[in-house]
Amino acid sequence: MNGLLSSSTQQKHSRLDVQRIREDFPILRRLVYGKPLVYLDNAATTQKPRSVIEAMSSYYEHTNANIHRGLHFLSERATEQYEAVRSKITKFLNAGDRCEIVFTRGTTESINLVASSLGRLLLKAGDEVVLTTMEHHSNIVPWQLICSATGAKIRVAPVNDDGELCLDAFERLLNPKTKIVALTHVSNALGTVNPVQQVVRMAKAVHATVVVDGAQAVSHLAVDVQQLGCDFYAFSGHKLFGPTGVGVLWGRAELLDAMPPYQGGGEMIRTVRFESSTWAKIPHKFEAGTPPIAEVIGLGAAVDYVLHVGYAAIAEHESALRDGATRTLSSIPGVRIIGNAHDKAAVISFVLEGVHPHDIGTILDREGIAIRAGHHCAQPLMERFGIAATARASFAFYNTRAEVDALAAGVQKVIEVFS
Ligand code: C6P
């Protein structure tokens, strides 16, 4: 993994050596319909570097055993590797303590855990949970479930025409009944980066607990949960160049301690009697059953890889891709970009006059270009913009300027087909 920065690093403008990075991702060499793969669906899932694939296969070849339970050699080694990743994630998020890192199946499970368990701890009839219009369904539906069980209500902070959170309107929604604020760090459908620190300051004025959906943030930005000031932060391994089936929930220790278990089973208990049971300490209280051990180990390798590339270099490269794609696509007649936030990740949602986004996706696919088309699990947001769907190109640090040009050429082809 050496030498990911080009020789110009020594000069004023450091640039990623993207061609060198691409060699670490075996899938990027494959052809699709005989054409080079142009993978621009990174918001759905990212591709995996060889180091992640090898960490997982090495675990299965040399170490596979269940963790925490066995006294034998393999079980001890597997437990060490699994727990070492917890320490790694603690540092990655700048969390206060490793007991605050809970491994889950992904962002969706992390948010369900916090909604169900924190909701049972905090919410009663008449209380309020504040969300934003740009939330993914994973940060809406779990709150609906707990609100209908407790009698609490959902309030929604609007977004403006550029796809930015309206902070004044958000602040006006806050009141002593606001117990929880849950918002995304980066919107999957617009790319908007939300001012989480400001949101937290406002929410703390009414003593609300703040839950952040970091699914789309961790691949683009360095996250420091103490600096953000939030109370919970959730993300998925597979959007961070790691495997599917694993995610993280960071939560403040005092809240996790006070919260009831989310799932019952092995590993999460201290004692079990038929009359009643007692719980293990955090984080184990929230990790019932055999966890995704190989996936956690793969996630550890992914974090190593991303930190080796470096967030400063990622931000520089992705901003250039975002600006290039924005300029090129918006110069095509009929293209309208949805989401023009001042602070925006390399995610470009667009519509093309007279063409359904699914048709754009299908024609681009035949060119070897993978994008996503649809409502992106953000139906209320689509409704806000008066559209049913968008086409979305989402970039990662291994994408190139030539791929931006391929996307633009593909969109021109769509126009030719429909004209
Ligand atoms: N968004 C997309 O194409 P899971 O599925 O649990 O890993 O992540 C859910 C999720 C939660 N929040 C946000 C902001 C997300 O973007 C996602 C997943 C994918 O945009 C699949 S819909």
Output the pLDDT for position 14: 47
Using CA atoms, how far residue 202 sits from 76, 167, 252, 344, in Å, is 46, 9, 19, 22
69 — pLDDT class (breaks 50, 70, 90) = confident
- CA distances, 367 to each of 25, 364, 413, 416 (Å): 20, 5, 9, 14
pLDDT tens digit sequence for 275-317: 999 999 999 999 999 999 999 999 999 999 999 999 999 999 9
List active site positions: 377
Mean pLDDT taken over the chain = 96
Query: Is 141's C-beta closer than 6 angstroms to any atom of ligand 1?
Result: no
Cα 198 to ligand 1 centroid, rounded to whole Å: 24
For a pLDDT cut of 90, what percent of the chain falls above it?
Answer: 95
Q: pLDDT tens digits for 139-163?
A: 999 999 999 999 999 999 999 999 9
Q: Is-same-fold flag (7-47+310-418; 54-307)?
A: no
Q: pLDDT at position 1, please?
A: 52
**Residue-wise pLDDT tens digits, 212-231:** 999 999 999 999 999 999 99
Is the model's pLDDT at 9 over the cut of 70? no
Which numeric CATH code is attached to 54-307?
3.40.640.10
User: Ligand 1 in contact with 90 (CB < 6 A)?
Assistant: no
Separation CA 235–CA 212 (nearest Å)? 9
Establish whether residue 200 lines the binding site of ligand 1, counting it when its CB lies within 6 angstroms of any ligand atom: no
**What ligand 1 atom has the least distance to the C-alpha of 238?**
7
Q: In the structure, what pLDDT confidence band is assigned to residue 366 with cuts at 50, 70 and 90? A: very high
| CB-ligand 1 contact for 214 (6 Å cutoff) | no
What mean pLDDT do residues 359-372 have? 98
136 CA distance to ligand 1 middle (Å): 7
Q: Which CATH number fits domain 7-47+310-418: 3.90.870.10, 3.40.190.10, 3.30.70.260, 3.90.1150.10?
A: 3.90.1150.10
d(CA 415, CA 332): 9
Question: pLDDT by residue (tens digit) across 378-418?
Answer: 999 999 999 999 999 999 999 999 999 999 999 999 999 99
Span from the CA of 196 to the centroid of ligand 1 (angstroms) = 18
CB 40 within 8 A of CB 371: yes
Token digits for 218? 């961790």
Quick: pLDDT tens for 92-143.
999 999 999 999 999 999 999 999 999 999 999 999 999 999 999 999 999 9
Between CA 105 and CA 215 the distance in angstroms is 12
For 200-207, what is the mean pLDDT?
98
Predicted pLDDT at 107: 99
Phi, psi of 193, deg, nearest 5: -100, 120
Asked whether residue 27 carries a pLDDT value surpassing 50, the answer given is yes
How many alpha carbons fall within 13 Å on the CB side of residue 305? 28
| C-alpha dihedral sign at 42, 47, 51, 54 | positive
Percentage of the residues of the chain whose pLDDT score is greater than 70: 97
pLDDT at position 8 over 50: no
Note whether 118 and 255 are within 8 A (CB).
Answer: yes
Q: How far is the CA of 44 from the centre of ligand 1 (A)?
A: 7
Packing angle of the helix pair 401-418, 357-366 (nearest 10 deg): 120
What is the pLDDT at residue 70?
78
> Can you give the residue ranges of every domain in the chain?
7-47+310-418, 54-307
pTM, rounded to two decimals: 0.97
pLDDT in tens, 371-387: 999 999 999 999 999 99
CB of 188 sitting under 6 A from ligand 1 = yes
Q: How far is CA 19 from the centre of its chain?
A: 25
